């Protein structure tokens, strides 16, 4: 299967710990996005990369959140000093960059974070 | 600021009935894009359609059809002859400007949970 892959699928952690999620996009896609989804809500945009450049990060929820895409392939989302309010599903998506496909995102199954 | 409202939290119909999911949006952009995504119980969001603000032509794809009306800022989605496999949460989304969902991301509504009963 060559879809978007996210790991781990589930993460349970204690408040104050750091967590990292990994996303492997579809190989030919040069855009990669992170979204957060809480129960009963639609996905909320966090950040986006085109190749290895992080072109939008102002929507990251706080300075505890950071994302990288070091070689323009996989990406990581790190949350430092987790809080209970960080409990959510973290979604990764990828897409092609050209205008005719803009917004046509391919999502992974998500990484569910539970902060105790 | 952009906003998408899906007033119907949950809809339940019997199989083979037609059902319409409402979507109302707000934006100050003159160029924007509208989308529908499906989130089945497995959880993975699936792209259904993209429509740009200059194209008000309705679209039909099999049992699915979309009605875009700029005058009422609505982009409604109709499923004809619904099937149990259509059961899912459906999200309407909006992106502004020329990025088409790139730099500014997509603004999603809260979703409508559609239940198709056999």
Give first-to-last CA distance, chain B, whole Å. 41
Q: Is B28 on the interface with A (CB under 8 A)?
A: no
- Measured between alpha carbons, how far is B114 from B90 in angstroms, rounded to an integer? 7
- Set of chain B residues whose Cβ sits within 8 Å of the Cβ of A46: 105
pLDDT (tens, 9 = 90+) of chain B, 118 residues, equals: 889 999 999 999 999 999 999 999 999 988 889 999 999 988 899 999 988 888 888 888 899 999 999 999 999 999 999 999 999 999 999 987 655 555 568 999 999 999 999 9
CA distances from B56 to A50, A75, B3, B37, B75 (A): 30, 37, 19, 19, 10
Look at residue B55 in the predicted model and tell me its pLDDT: 84
Q: Average pLDDT across each block of 10 residues of chain A; the chain has 116 residues. List them in order.
A: 90 98 93 94 93 83 92 93 97 83 87 97
Q: Say yes or no for a CB contact (<8 Å) between B45 and A105.
A: yes
**Element holding A22 (H helix, E strand):** strand A19-24
Within an 8 Å CB–CB cutoff, is residue A91 touching chain B?
yes
Q: Do B105 and A107 touch (CB under 8 A)?
A: no
For residues B75 and B92, what is the distance between their CA atoms, to the nearest angstrom? Answer: 8
Residues in chain B with CB shorter than 8 Å from the CB of A31 are 102
What's the pLDDT at A12? 98
Is any Cβ of chain A less than 8 angstroms from the Cβ of B30? Answer: no
Q: What is the DSSP string of chain B?
A: --EEE---SEEEEETT--EEE--EEE-S-SSEEEEEEEE-TT---EEEEEEETT----EEETTEEEEEEGGGTEEEEEESS--GGG-EEEEEEEEETTTSSSTT--EE---EEEEEE-
Question: What is the pLDDT, as a whole number, of residue B43?
Answer: 83
Please tell me which of the candidates B35, B44, B111 has its beta carbon nearest to residue A103.
B35
- B-chain CB neighbours of A45 within 8 Å are 104-107
């Amino acid at each position: 299967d060559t879809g978007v892959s996210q790991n781990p699928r589930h993460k349970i952690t204690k408040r104050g710990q750091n967590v990292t999620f990994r996303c492997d996009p579809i190989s030919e896609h040069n855009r990669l996005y992170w979204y957060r989804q809480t129960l009963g809500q639609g996905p909320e945009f966090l950040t986006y990369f085109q190749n290895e450049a992080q072109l939008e990060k102002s929507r990251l929820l706080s300075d505890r959140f950071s994302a990288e895409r070091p070689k323009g392939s996989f990406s990581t989302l790190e949350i430092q000093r987790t809080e209970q309010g960080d409990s959510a599903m973290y979604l990764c998506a990828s897409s092609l960059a050209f205008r005719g496909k803009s917004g046509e995102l391919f999502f992974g199954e998500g990484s569910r974070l539970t902060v105790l | 600021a952009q906003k998408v409202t899906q007033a119907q939290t949950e809809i339940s119909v019997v199989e083979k009935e037609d059902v319409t999911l409402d979507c109302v949006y707000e934006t100050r952009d003159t160029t924007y894009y509208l989308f529908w995504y499906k989130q089945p119980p497995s959880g993975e969001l699936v792209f259904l359609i993209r429509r740009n603000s200059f194209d008000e032509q309705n679209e039909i794809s099999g049992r699915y059809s979309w009605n875009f009306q700029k005058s009422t800022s609505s982009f409604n989605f109709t499923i004809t002859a619904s099937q149990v496999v259509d059961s899912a949460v459906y999200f309407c989304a909006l992106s502004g400007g020329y990025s088409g969902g790139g730099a500014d991301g997509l603004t999603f509504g809260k979703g409508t949970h559609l239940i198709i009963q056999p």
